[in-house]
Amino acid sequence: MEQAEQDLLVLEAQSGNEKAFECLVIWFHPLLVKFATSLSGNSALAKDAVQDVWLQILKKLRRLEDPRAFKSWLFRAVRWRVIDLMRGKAMQFEALDDNGIEILPDHSELEYRQLHQQINRLGKLEREVIYLFYLVELTVAEAALVLEVPQGTVKSRLNRARKQLQQMIKA
């Protein structure tokens, strides 16, 4: 979805257009579930977190002043909800399951699964930034907003994650 189209949908949804809000949900929901699953390692918890966030967004959307901030606002809300649910349940989660994997057409399933497994071996901070930057395609600035860290920190984490992945691939 292009930024201009997203901005228009957000403005329409803010003015009460249910169809516009539905379009935003259809577009972002799968990405949010994958992001939440990558954070929690638990697809059920991820789905609950995303559902909770959509309910919050529906109530608070009119307060969003800049429609361009919608995407980062949405991902930040999911991140915080996942953290809250994980703290509240105080449970051990298994490694990321394969339910959220979408096979890319230009990669074989085996190659994609191997890369996904290597990404899972990264630390939580590196895994978050790799997911946001490469899979969700957020800019460094947007990822910084979601993670609530300076842009330089996002760049450092990306650099560290890339180096770790390169070492894993060579091994």
What residue type is 60 in one-letter code? K
Return left, alpha or beta for 2; rule: phi > 0 is left, psi -120 to 50 is alpha, else beta: beta
CB proximity list for 140: less than 8 A, separation 6 or greater: 133, 151, 154, 155, 158
User: What pLDDT is attached to residue 110?
Assistant: 63
Domain 101-171 classification at class level: mainly alpha
pTM across the whole model = 0.69
Long-range pairs for 130-135: beta carbons < 8 A, 24 or more residues apart: 130/158, 130/161, 130/165, 131/34, 131/35, 131/38, 132/35, 132/75, 133/158, 135/31, 135/34, 135/35
% of the chain surpassing 70 pLDDT = 86
Are residues 118 and 165 in contact, defined by beta-carbon separation less than 8 angstroms? yes
Token couple for 1: 């979805």
CATH architecture of 1-97: Orthogonal Bundle (1.10)
Q: What pLDDT was estimated at residue 1?
A: 77
Query: What pLDDT, on the 0 to 100 scale, is given for residue 92?
Result: 38
Question: What does the domain layout of the chain look like in residue ranges?
Answer: 1-97, 101-171
Mean pLDDT to the nearest integer, 80-84: 90
Residue with more model confidence, 92 or 139: 139
Distance between CA atoms of residues 137 and 122, nearest Å: 19
154 is written with which tokens?
């996002």
**Residues 99-151 pLDDT 10s:** 444 434 444 556 667 777 888 888 889 988 988 888 788 899 999 999 999 99
